[in-house]
Structure 1
Amino acid sequence: MTETSVETMSADVRVRPASAEDRPAVERLWLMFRHDMSEYQGGLPAADGTFRSERVEAAFTAPGWAPYLLTRGDHLAGFAFVRGLDGPVRVFNSFLVVRGARRGKVGLRAAVEVLRRHPGRWEIPFQRGNAGAVAFWHRVAEDSAPGGWSCAERAVPGRPELPPDLWLSFTVGR
């Protein structure tokens, strides 16, 4: 891929709040996200082929949460869920860039845009065993708070059988 096409690919990524009308599309994207995460968390779908979806419900209805859709041109490219908007620390709860839109800084551009929409203290959890996520989120932190971020291990609540997650912490200015 040439440098020009990489720039073009990332330049047309858009982030917008997901509306109630977008929820069916977000629910389908959620299945892709949970499928990807099952590699690291061991979750299997229910008999009807779905995964637990409490976070989708919370993203659309719970105080302090916000769902976003990521688009590239006229196509869906992923979603982001943020929680903690009503408290002192915002958390990137869930983030997906569909495989066809990965690379070319599409995810980086989208993640940084979500962070900038909510200045303040941020935390981002992800699985240590997911090498792509480790590199990606470290890049997001460095782009958002150059030299001003930290990373620590924390146990996964209610899941003692899983290895600890990594949590990035930093502040995004206005």
Structure 2
Amino acid sequence: MELRIELVPKERKHVISRLMQLYLYDFTRYLDFDVDQEGVFPSYPGLEAYWHSGNNKYPYLIIADGNLAGFALIDRMLRNPEGQFYMTEFFVMQKYRRTGVGTWAAHKLFDTFPGDWKVSQVRANSPARNFWHRVIDSYTQGKFQERFNPMQGNPSQYFNSFEANRLKK
């Protein structure tokens, strides 16, 4: 399978917006929100900022054999003690789950942005928690920390992708 990630230009932001509907649908298992009377989920808050905030937000498409397989939204966190990069959202379409596409894409994105990372999940979303534990553990050779948000109880993993790459060599 040929895999690649593509930074999404402003002219193609509608692709992320449409895939976001599938992503939000998946989340209805864990969070309480509904489609409107037109059958559409609410717009993702702050999505427009990925094309209007300079060099702080990065929207990527995940491509498998020329087909859309998912997306990732990455934020550069400025002067934040929790890290430099945040995997804000990450979505792989069901057809491509458990095929290695998500693991490949996550590792590729970690390599693209060397530094301190934070990856979070909704506490109730055990498939996502299991996925990220596996992905980050293999990427860092177990050198990551996990902390829980004291208010919501959501877990976050913290690691340094630059250090993880040095360990691989």
TM-score bracket relative to the smaller structure: 0.7 to 0.9
Correspondence 1:123 to 2:112:
no
* C-alpha contact (below 8 Å) 2:72/2:91 kept by paired residues: yes
1:52 offset after TM fit, Å?
3.0
| Unmatched segments (≥5 aa) in structure 1 | 1-7, 157-162
Q: Which of 68, 73, 80 is residue 72 of structure 2 equivalent to?
A: 80
* C-alpha contact (below 8 Å) 1:126/1:134 kept by paired residues: yes
1:18 offset after TM fit, Å?
0.9
Q: How does 1:84-163 map to 2 (within 5 A)?
A: 84=76, 86-87=78-79, 88-155=83-150, 163=152
> 2:10 maps to which residue?
20
Q: Identity of paired residues, percent?
A: 23
Distance 1:123 1:98 in 2: 22
Paired amino acid for 1:83: D
| Unmatched segments (≥5 aa) in structure 2 | none
1:55 offset after TM fit, Å?
3.4
Correspondence 1:30 to 2:20:
yes
Q: How does 1:49-64 map to 2 (within 5 A)?
A: 49-63=40-54, 64=56
Distance 1:106 1:75 in 2: 12
The 1:155/1:21 distance shift into structure 2, 3 A limit, reads farther
Aligned residue pair count: 158
Q: TM-score by structure 1 length?
A: 0.83
Distance 1:30 1:146 in 2: 31
* C-alpha contact (below 8 Å) 1:120/1:171 kept by paired residues: yes
1:144 offset after TM fit, Å?
2.0
Distance 1:21 1:78 in 2: 18
Distance 1:89 1:124 in 2: 11
Distance 1:60 1:85 in 2: 16
Q: TM-score by structure 2 length?
A: 0.85
1:46 offset after TM fit, Å?
3.0
1:106 offset after TM fit, Å?
0.8
